[in-house]
């Protein structure tokens, strides 16, 4: 049994792998430390054989998680790093270390999940867009502020009042709060459509559109291309990488 961790900018997702991707995924906000409810859950776990993690949340949370796993089970966390090549997957960045490990693991999982080209949208604190051809060639990607960061930056730089609101079913709004709420979702959805169509032209066949991240479900109503939400995409990629390493070791 392995404990798999996806440490994002804001949230930590974790699950137990017993020969496959985690059946159940838990999500907590980490605030650059170890949440008490996470420790409470881990106190009830049997000792895992390994703890494997993806971390883009910073050094402090990584250090705190490492202390907890050593205290509970005497295990160090194995942090996965981005690689230029993994199987047929080849990332476009000339400097792999500059490509976020969460984005890389999402590509690993997407390439295993669907046979066609894919546009992977991770709607978290930041929104990332990555284009992948069916043969494993990563074309590159884009990064924007996520939904909440986009709204917060607009409100911080203007005198628009902070009105808690979610967009209506229409892509536009008739009041300021809903206009801000709808604008952030429609901006990400519009860029998704543009990239999807460009990828379809290059692949010469409709690609898969895979959404992940904490705001993936919020984006669905704004999408005008068929999409599937895979909340545990990074954890699935983590499992694929660990499984591939173990297969190579046995071979």
The contacts of residue 171 (CB under 8 Å, 6+ apart) are: 182, 186, 222
Structure tokens belonging to residue 80 = 């996965």
The answer to whether 102 is a known ligand-binding residue is yes
The answer to whether 6 is a known ligand-binding residue is yes
Report yes or no: 147 and 138 within 8 Å, Cβ to Cβ.
Answer: no
In the residue annotation, 18 being an active-site residue is answered as: no
The answer to whether 9 is a known ligand-binding residue is yes
Catalytic residue among 41, 102, 130, 135: 102
Q: Is the dihedral of CA 109, 229, 147, 225 positive or negative?
A: positive
The answer to whether 122 is a known ligand-binding residue is yes
The answer to whether 57 is a known ligand-binding residue is no
The answer to whether 100 is a known ligand-binding residue is yes
Q: Is 106 left (phi over 0), alpha (psi -120 to 50) or beta?
A: alpha
The answer to whether 12 is a known ligand-binding residue is yes
CA of 211: how far to CAs of 110, 118, 148, 231, in Å? 10, 10, 17, 8
CB atoms within 10 A of CB 133: 17
- Concatenated DSSP letters of 131-181: EE-TTSBEEEEEEEE-HHHHHHHHHHTS----------SSSS-SSHHHHHH
- Strands of 11-17's sheet in order across: 26-29, 11-17, 2-7, 50-55, 77-79
The answer to whether 103 is a known ligand-binding residue is yes
- Cα–Cα distance, 245 to 242 (Å, whole number): 5
The answer to whether 46 is a known ligand-binding residue is no
The answer to whether 93 is a known ligand-binding residue is yes
CA dihedral 186, 191, 194, 200 (to 10 degrees): -110
Going by the annotation, the residues of the binding site are 6-13, 93, 100-103, 122, 125, 176
Going by the annotation, the residues of the binding site for substrate are 93, 100-103, 176
Going by the annotation, the residues of the binding site for K(+) are 122
What are the catalytic residues?
102
């Amino acid at each position: 049994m392995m404990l798999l961790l996806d440490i994002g900018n804001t949230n930590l997702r974790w699950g137990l792998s017993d020969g496959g991707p985690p059946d159940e995924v838990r999500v907590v906000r980490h605030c650059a430390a170890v949440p008490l409810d996470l420790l409470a859950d881990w106190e009830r776990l049997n000792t895992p054989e390994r703890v494997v993690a993806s971390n883009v949340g910073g050094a402090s949370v990584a250090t705190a998680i490492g202390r907890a796993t050593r205290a509970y089970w005497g295990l160090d966390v194995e942090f996965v790093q981005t690689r230029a090549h993994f199987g047929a997957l080849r990332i476009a960045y000339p400097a792999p270390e500059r490509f976020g490990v969460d984005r890389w693991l999402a590509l690993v999982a997407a390439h295993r999940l669907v046979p066609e080209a894919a546009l992977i949208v991770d709607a978290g604190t930041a929104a990332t867009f990555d284009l992948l051809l069916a043969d494993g060639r990563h074309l590159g990607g884009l990064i924007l502020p996520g939904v909440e960061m986009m709204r917060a930056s607009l409100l911080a730089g203007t005198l628009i009042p902070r009105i808690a609101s979610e967009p209506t079913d229409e892509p536009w709004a008739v009041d300021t709060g809903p206009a801000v709420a709808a604008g952030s979702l429609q901006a990400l959805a519009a860029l998704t459509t543009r990239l999807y169509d460009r990828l379809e032209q290059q692949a010469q066949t409709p690609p898969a559109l895979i959404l992940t991240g904490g705001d993936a479900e919020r984006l669905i109503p704004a999408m005008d291309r068929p999409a599937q939400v895979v909340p545990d995409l990074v954890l699935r990629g983590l499992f694929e990488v660990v499984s591939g390493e173990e297969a190579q070791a046995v071979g």
